[in-house]
Amino acid sequence: MAAVLGFVVPLSSGLSAKIHTEARAARSERLSITAHLDYVDAKGAYLIESGSGSGPLAGSVKARIRVAADISGSFTFYPRGGGSISGSGVGSLRESGRYASFSGTVTVLGGTGHYVHARGGGRLYGVYNRNTLGVTIQTTGSLTY
């Protein structure tokens, strides 16, 4: 775990002023989430999916996924306790009839609330169900916020 230290410096110059720098401790977590997503709608070439994610930061997930020769998309994860974590992923598909498995990379690009400084990434693995259009995704990696 790393920490970013902050301080308060009083200044005097004709007018009294204070500069405040907030202390913020950077936290690191394993980016280990398994998300079970269900088809909600389609927007052009993208499937809109939502569902739940389990792991250290369990919560709900919304994703926009494009399935073509490969699989790619963006996601917003809403951990219990508030805030959100957003990012994107891309992977290679392996066709197999009703199911297509995939693997690739996931990148965390930011967030809101407690996760406003979220960054990280790792690997993603999953299965796409061609009949139900549902997706199961598992991630491994690291997350700093």
Q: What is the pLDDT of residues 71-121, one digit of tens each?
A: 999 999 999 999 999 999 999 999 888 999 999 999 999 999 999 999 999
Q: Please write the tens of the pLDDT for every residue from 63-85.
A: 999 999 999 999 999 999 999 99
Closest CA to 35 of 81, 73, 8, 83: 73
Task: Give the domain CATH number at 60.
Answer: 2.40.350
pTM score of the predicted model: 0.79
Report the domain count for the chain. 1
In contact, 51 and 59? CB cutoff 8 Å? no
Provide the residue range defining the domain that includes 100. Answer: 27-144
Q: What percent of the chain has pLDDT over 90?
A: 74
Question: Looking at the domain assignment, is residue 7 inside a domain?
Answer: no
Contact between 122 and 134 (Cβ < 8 Å): no
DSSP character at residue 115: G
123 found inside a domain: yes
